[in-house]
Amino acid sequence: MRLTPTSYIVLGLARWSPGVTAYELERTINATVSHMWTIQRSQIYREPARLAEAGLLTAETEGDGRTRTRFTITPDGERSLDAWLAEGVQDMPQLRDLAILKVFFGAGPQALARTRLLAHQARLKEYELLREVGGLAQSGPRLALEAAIAHERTSIRYWSDLAKSSS
C-alpha cells in the first residue's frame, strides 16, 4: 500500500488521540496542520478507512444512535509512522503563493504588496496568539509553530520591502 503525507497525518493524529472519528480528524487538521499541508476534505474521510483496510488502524463502529467509526493506530501503523518520521526529507518545499506568481508575470507589485502584507500580519497575529495561549503539549507542534511564525515574519519583511521599492 502506498502511503501519502495525508496517510501519515491521519496515523500521527490517531496516535495522539486513540479512538478518533473522521469528523474529529477533520476538526483537528483544520486547527493544526491545515496551514502547513493542504488536505482535501474528502481525503480526510476516505483515508482512515483505507488505513484500516491495510491494518494500520483499527476501526470500531458504534451502533448507538448515529453510526460513528472510531479509529486507533495499530502496532503496524506505529511502525509505519515511526519509519516515516525517521526518514530524511529531500524534497524542497514549493512556494505556492498566487500573489508571487502574479508578480512573476508582471502584476503591479504595490497593490499586491499591501493586501499580502495585511494577510501575513493577520496570520502572524494568529500564530503568536496560539503560542501565547499555549496548549501545545508536544514539542513537534511547538517547533512547527515557531517555523510558521518565522515564515510569516519573513513574508512581512518581503512584502514591506516590495511595497517600499515600488512606491
pLDDT in tens, 68-79: 899 999 999 999
First to last CA, the chain: 54
pLDDT at 167 over 60: no
Summarize pLDDT for 20-66 with one digit per residue, the tens: 999 999 998 888 888 778 888 889 999 999 999 999 999 999 877 67
Rounded Cα distance between 66 and 44, Å, is: 19
Please name which of 120, 123, 101 lies closest in space to residue 109, comparing C-alpha atoms.
Answer: 101
Please name which of 27, 26, 22 lies closest in space to residue 60, comparing C-alpha atoms.
Answer: 22
Encode 9-18: b = buried (16+ Cβ within 10 Å), e = exposed: bbbbbbeebe
Under a CB-based contact definition with an 8 Å cutoff, are residues 92 and 71 in contact?
A: no
Q: What's CA 156's distance to the chain center, in Å?
A: 21
Helix (H, G, I), strand (E, B) or coil at 165: helix
Under a CB-based contact definition with an 8 Å cutoff, are residues 8 and 73 in contact?
A: no
Q: Which residue has the higher pLDDT, 89 or 136?
A: 89
Under a CB-based contact definition with an 8 Å cutoff, are residues 31 and 107 in contact?
A: no
Q: Give me the amino acid identity at 85.
A: L
Q: Give me the amino acid identity at 96.
A: R
